[in-house]
Structure 1
Amino acid sequence: MGNLLANKSLKIQLTEKNKGRGVGLVSDLPELQGAGADEERADVAILMCTYNGSSFLREQLDSFGRQSYRDWTLYVSDDSSADSTRDILDEYQRRWGSGKLFVFDGPCQGFAKNFMSLLKRPEVQARYYAFSDQDDVWFDDKLERSVVRLASMPEQKPALYCSRTRLTDAEGSPIGFSPLFARPPSFQNALVQSLAGANTMLINQAAREVLLSVPEDSTVVAHDWLAYLLVTACGGCTFYDSGATLDYRQHGGNIIGANASYKDRLFRVRNMLSGRFVEWNDANLEILRAFYPLLTQEARATLEHFEAGRTLGFKGRLCEFYRAGIYRQTHAANISLIVAACLGKI
């Protein structure tokens, strides 16, 4: 009941606002138990968006079938694939039986819009929601690890779990890991950096309710970054697991890569200094303004300093960014952030 009342209050506050227009590191996860250990098993909706994904889709679907946590349902939103993606999905529907896999037609407006449209479908109902790419391979305990962590949270508090990934080449051979982050998740970090890929994320129903209230006409830069921003801004908890939970395949068809190589990082720095970072922040801030009534006092103060810094001259800009407390997760990334701040590219 508390969760329902909280969600109702959230929607009322956002409606009124729009008329006028917790944190932790998961380095020491508790010992995992089987999915049947709890008296009330939590169910998970796996949300997958597909587009011409036939090359690797079977491997990902098979990894779902091997999950140690069995209480899940897969919902797929397909953006008019022209290959055999739909045939493969039909095959697995027959193999798994009714009620395990549902397929919808996507909006064909890009990956972020596709994921948001799937999250907003009333047919999709669960206690937890896991985002999935079409070309990864999940470790067998991925869902179990993430559910165990979020199950400890009060249902009314927005919560997000994410993790590191193991990188593989197109053939599935390991080639390394995504960067290891050591600083705590926070709104100050979320303002200037997405902590982890959506393919590692699990959110609870309270976090979903927050995301459902994003205005329809909003520009969503990336749904994983948006989830991290809103959960931390609204007083929720974000857990970062320093252990990998899946194989993140790197190939020519990736929309967003792992940002692990020097070349990838140089590309990200160039994007930041070219003005793209300013555009991304513009879009994120527009959404945050709509959520202002729900932000914690600390998040409001951080946001006010951050927005003020974007409009001031050199000295004032640096002072306001310092007061906002913004930071990125690695030393090199923080250097690029300082350079961007000096050049007015934030």
Structure 2
Amino acid sequence: MTLFDVRLREAGTRSQVAVSLGTVAGPPAGAIAVQTPVAILLSTYNGEAYLAEQLESFLAQTHGGWILFWRDDGSTDATVRLMQAFADGPGTGRCRRIDQDGHLGITASFLCLLRRAPADHVVAFADQDDVWLPGKLARGLRALGDPGIRHPALYCARQRLVDGSLRTIGLSPPLDRLPPFPASLTQNIATGCTVMLNPAAAKVVAASTPPGGTLHDWWSYLLVGAVGGRLIADPEAVVLYRQHRGNAVGAPNSVLRRGVMALRRGPDSFMVLFRTHVAELAAHADILSPPARDAIALLQTSLSGNRLARLRAMRRLPRLTRRTRLETLLFRLWFLIG
């Protein structure tokens, strides 16, 4: 019996329930869903506690045309043995390990995987501790459309929030649209465990240099929007997004909780990252759309100027907002004083 079999047996019915709870059926199988290859990108790090259930949910996808590209970021538990057992067992022939030793961190690890994905594959980011609902890949593929289109496109979806034992906590905030650039500078709404990139978008992100302190999902959302790409929001939940103490990034499911967390972080850390994103996008100015290039130039000037310059920038960039009025008010205050 492999380690993978042991972990699945330990998960028991909990794992079986995971793929049926609130299942979102995928779209009818069509030419796009059947023919499009998908590269699932999985970066692991000490993930043995929940990894087996995520791997099982890959196998349960209604779209079976996927290959798993994975790398381990320096685990000290049984994660690598579990992954190898999966590759030698249920995942035989559809797993590719990317060898690059050392601890790179979340963003660098995912970018390493992205740069090794085949150029004609749609890319799907995956976290080690979630459970995908069966129609996840099919829904994303249907939304992205023809993978041969040269225009970059990013898809993301809502999540069903669950605890460590997969008990439902609630839903992530409604997601009927993805605010375009420059609103994406103020807040990341493209949750990485749901993000899929068409080949054109994957190429743009893979060729870029994400700044330190950012995450792969936010950088993808920023860059695809800034180059004029299509941003697609799925209002249906496609992932059981596990909330536990080991989360790298959690998902507060209320405006109040998000507000409290923002206040605790304060303006300094937010504005440092805001400035970093602006500076790095300026470094990629040659690939940005003309409106995004103008917005970045304006923001750079205002950030190096006084408060009057920043007020003028906000007037000229009315879409520089967050999800709610209260969150937007807080952002504008921080932008003025930070």
Partner of 2:111: 116
2:314 equivalent to 1:321: yes
2:37 equivalent to 1:56: no
2:288 equivalent to 1:309: no
Greater mean deviation of Cα atoms: 231-240 or 281-290? 281-290
Partner of 1:194: 188
State the distance in 2 between where 1:337 and 1:245 align: 30
Instruction: Give how far 1:97 is off.
Output: 5.0
Query: Residues 97, 240 of structure 1: CA spacing in aligned structure 2 closer, same or farther, 3 A cutoff?
Result: closer
Instruction: Give how far 1:304 is off.
Output: 2.1
State the distance in 2 between where 1:156 and 1:92 align: 34
State the distance in 1 between where 2:152 and 2:46 align: 33
Query: Is residue 45–residue 74 contact of structure 2 (8 Å, CA) maintained in 1?
Result: yes
Instruction: Give how far 1:59 is off.
Output: 0.5
Query: Is residue 157–residue 206 contact of structure 1 (8 Å, CA) maintained in 2?
Result: yes
Query: Is residue 181–residue 330 contact of structure 1 (8 Å, CA) maintained in 2?
Result: no
Instruction: Give how far 1:252 is off.
Output: 0.5
Query: Is residue 32–residue 145 contact of structure 2 (8 Å, CA) maintained in 1?
Result: no
1:68 to 58, 62, 66: 62
2:125 equivalent to 1:131: yes
Partner of 1:27: none
Instruction: Give how far 1:271 is off.
Output: 2.2
The letter for the 1-side match of 2:315 is Y
State the distance in 2 between where 1:133 and 1:39 align: 22
> How does 1:1-346 map onto structure 2 within 5 Å?
32-34=27-29, 37-38=31-32, 41-106=35-100, 107-121=102-116, 124-152=118-146, 155-182=149-176, 184-215=178-209, 218-219=211-212, 221-261=214-254, 262-273=256-267, 275-325=268-318, 326-343=320-337, 345=338
Instruction: Give how far 1:201 is off.
Output: 0.4
- Runs of 4+ deviating beyond 6 Å: none
State the distance in 1 between where 2:181 and 2:109 align: 25
The letter for the 2-side match of 1:102 is R
Query: Residues 323, 196 of structure 1: CA spacing in aligned structure 2 closer, same or farther, 3 A cutoff?
Result: same
State the distance in 1 between where 2:225 and 2:274 align: 16
Query: Is residue 136–residue 247 contact of structure 1 (8 Å, CA) maintained in 2?
Result: yes
State the distance in 2 between where 1:307 and 1:204 align: 30
Greater mean deviation of Cα atoms: 288-297 or 301-310? 301-310
Query: Is residue 214–residue 287 contact of structure 1 (8 Å, CA) maintained in 2?
Result: no
Instruction: Give how far 1:241 is off.
Output: 1.1
Query: Residues 114, 98 of structure 1: CA spacing in aligned structure 2 closer, same or farther, 3 A cutoff?
Result: same
State the distance in 2 between where 1:108 and 1:65 align: 28
Superposition RMSD in Å: 2.1
Structure 1, unaligned runs of 5 or more: 1-30
Structure 2, unaligned runs of 5 or more: 1-25
State the distance in 1 between where 2:32 and 2:314 align: 45
Instruction: Give how far 1:38 is off.
Output: 4.3
Q: Deviations over 1:295-320 (max 9, x none)?
A: 11111222222222222222321121
The letter for the 2-side match of 1:109 is L
Partner SS state of residue 35, structure 2: coil
Equivalenced residue count is: 310
Greater mean deviation of Cα atoms: 223-232 or 256-265? 256-265
Partner SS state of residue 96, structure 1: coil
State the distance in 1 between where 2:212 and 2:129 align: 25
State the distance in 1 between where 2:191 and 2:33 align: 31
Partner SS state of residue 120, structure 1: helix
Q: Deviations over 1:22-62 (max 9, x none)?
A: xxxxxxxxx9221x544970000000110010000011001
Query: Residues 184, 67 of structure 1: CA spacing in aligned structure 2 closer, same or farther, 3 A cutoff?
Result: closer
Instruction: Give how far 1:259 is off.
Output: 2.9
State the distance in 2 between where 1:303 and 1:97 align: 44
Query: Residues 181, 290 of structure 1: CA spacing in aligned structure 2 closer, same or farther, 3 A cutoff?
Result: same
Query: Residues 247, 39 of structure 1: CA spacing in aligned structure 2 closer, same or farther, 3 A cutoff?
Result: closer
Greater mean deviation of Cα atoms: 186-195 or 278-287? 278-287
